[in-house]
A and B are shown apart, each in its own frame.
Chain A
Amino acid sequence: EVQLVESGGGLVQPGGSLRLSCAASGFTLSDHSMDWVRQAPGKGLEWVGRTRNKANSYTPEYAASVKGRFTISRDDSKNSLYLQMNSLKIEDTAVYYCARSMSDWGQGTLVTVSS
C-alpha cells in the first residue's frame, strides 16, 4: 500500500525558513516523479513543484511563485522527499501536500507564516 506522510509544518515568521518532509512507503521512490501541492485556507489547489524520477535525472520544476525561494530534494535511500522553504511570505500559508506522480497524496501539513 502506498503511503505518504508529511511532517515539518508549523508557525514561522515572515522571512523565515522551514523544511518539510514526506516519508514514502509501499513503492520505490526513485521510480516516480514527486510533487508538492499547496492549498491556502479556503482556497483551491496550487502546484508548487516537482522532482522527476531517477530515469529523468531528478530534474526539478517550480511554480513561478516559489522559484528561487523553495527547493525540492529527495533521498531515495531514506524513502523521503523534502521541501526547503526560504524567505517565507504570508501568502505561503497553506496546507502542503506531497504526491506521487499526482496520483497518491499524503494527508498534508499546515504551514502558517505570520508575525
Chain B
Amino acid sequence: DIQMTQSPSSLSASVGDRVTITCRASQGIRNDVGWYQQKPGKAPKRLIYAASSLQSGVPSRFSGSGSGTEFTLTISSLQPEDFATYYCLQYNSYPVTFGQGTKLEI
C-alpha cells in the first residue's frame, strides 16, 4: 500500500498568513493526488485534483503543487472560513489512501 505522510498534523496561523501543508508518498505516484477540506460535522470538499488543478468554485488562494512523491497545498492568504482540517489523497493505485490530516487552527 502507498502511505501518505502528511505534515504538520496541526498548525496555528492567523488571518492573512500564508500556509503550506505537505504530503509525502511512500513511492512515486505521478500527480495522482487530491486535497480536501473538512469542517466539523460536514463532508469533505475537494479543493485540488491532479496535484495542481483547482476544483471549480474553489477560491484561487488555494493552490497545489508537486509530482512523484512530494506534494504541497498552499493557502496564500488565510481567511476565517479556511480554518478546518485538510487531507491529501492518492489515487494512483489501490487501495486509495489518505494522509492523516492537518488541523488548521487560529
* Count class of interface residues, chain B: 20 to 34
Contacts of B94 in A (CB 8 A): 50, 61
Known: A102-B91, A103-B49. A108 touches B43 (CB 8 A): yes
Q: Report whether B96 and A105 are in contact in the complex, using a CB–CB cutoff of 8 Å.
A: no
Q: In the complex, are the beta carbons of A102 and B96 less than 8 A apart?
A: yes
Bound complex: CA A44 to CA B36 (Å): 12
Question: Is the CB–CB distance between A44 and B101 below 8 Å?
Answer: yes
A63 to B97, CA, bound (A): 9
Query: Considering only CB atoms and an 8 Å cut-off, how many residues of chain A contact the other chain?
Result: 19
Q: Give chain B residues whose Cβ lies under 8 Å from the Cβ of A106.
A: 43
Interface string of A33-59 (1 = CB under 8 A from B): 001010000001111001000000000
Contact present for B95 and A44 (CB under 8 Å): no
The residue from A46, A61, A102 contacting B34, defined by CB atoms under 8 A apart: A102
Q: What are 27 A-B contacts with C-beta separation under 8 Å?
A: A35-B96, A37-B44, A44-B87, A44-B99, A44-B100, A45-B36, A45-B38, A45-B98, A45-B101, A46-B98, A47-B96, A47-B98, A50-B94, A61-B94, A61-B95, A62-B95, A64-B95, A97-B44, A102-B34, A102-B89, A103-B46, A103-B49, A103-B55, A104-B46, A107-B42, A107-B43, A108-B43
